Amino acid sequence: MRKDPPFDMEYVYTTYILERAQMQGALVVNRPQGLRDMNEKVYTAWFPQCCAPTLITRNMAEMQAFLREHGKIVVKPLHGMGGRSIFVVTQDDKNTGVIFETLTDYGQRFAIVQRYVPEIVESGDARVLLVDGEPVPFALARIPTATDNRGNLAAGAQGVGRLLTERERWVAGEIGPQLAAKGMLFVGLDVIGGYVTEINVTSPTGIRELEKQFKLDIAGQFIDAVTRRTIR
């Protein structure tokens, strides 16, 4: 099951149908229940030890308080992808109020607020791929352009492959086995400055870029993992 967000009701209905297939013996990757349960922004809350300070709210006063506490924050919707509607906000930004109003629809929708991690400028937003709970040894660091805050390839960031850091291996060890146990065989972690910002379970990218740069066979590794599960 692989579809780019938004995660809409048609997507949910599809997971219901696939879950029926699973109950009759089919292996569905990633597992339908996990796809429903693991919103890519919200599910980071299950691993607070891996994350920078984060707030999920639709209360604009709480957002303002979070901004005052941390000075510089990232605000984004819970359903987007590819860097859409991601804002970096500072205390002196006069657009703060309208940004919070827009993202929460005047307090009607939840949004996520995270402390800004400055390492993104030099080190980028690293995509760490997990195959059946085990990390691929290389990350794809997506370096923002000089005119954009976003570390997303779709927003023009440059993808630079590199070995995982010790911290990234630790993060993968904290998260990977738990996701594999829940039937999530292919997952992409977004890691900035050693902090997880998203857990991508619907359509994580990065395979082709890493395979090209390092002559890897991540797709083959994934198919081997599927085959092992099927044989069981």
- Contact yes or no for 130/187 (Cβ under 8 A): yes
Q: Catalytic pick from 30, 125, 127, 168?
A: 127
Q: Catalytic pick from 132, 150, 152, 168?
A: 150
Q: Catalytic pick from 31, 39, 41, 125?
A: 41
- Contact yes or no for 54/195 (Cβ under 8 A): no
Please report the DSSP string for 7-44 in residue order: --HHHHHHHHHHHHHHHTT---SS-HHHHHH--TTGGG
Q: Catalytic pick from 40, 125, 168, 190?
A: 190
41 noted as active-site residue: yes
- Contact yes or no for 229/185 (Cβ under 8 A): yes
209 noted as active-site residue: no
58 noted as active-site residue: no
Which is it for strands 125-131 and 134-135: parallel, antiparallel or unpaired? antiparallel
Q: Catalytic pick from 39, 76, 132, 168?
A: 76
76 noted as active-site residue: yes
First to last CA, the chain: 20
Written as six digits, the tokens of 9 are 């009701």
Place of tokens 């660091």: 141
190 noted as active-site residue: yes
200 noted as active-site residue: yes
Q: Catalytic pick from 39, 115, 142, 168?
A: 142
Place of tokens 């707030």: 55
Q: Residue type for 113, please? A: V
CA distance 152 to 142: 6
Q: Catalytic pick from 30, 39, 152, 200?
A: 200
Place of tokens 């092992």: 228
Cross-strand bridge partners of residue 54: 114
Active site residues: 41, 76, 127, 142, 150, 190, 198, 200
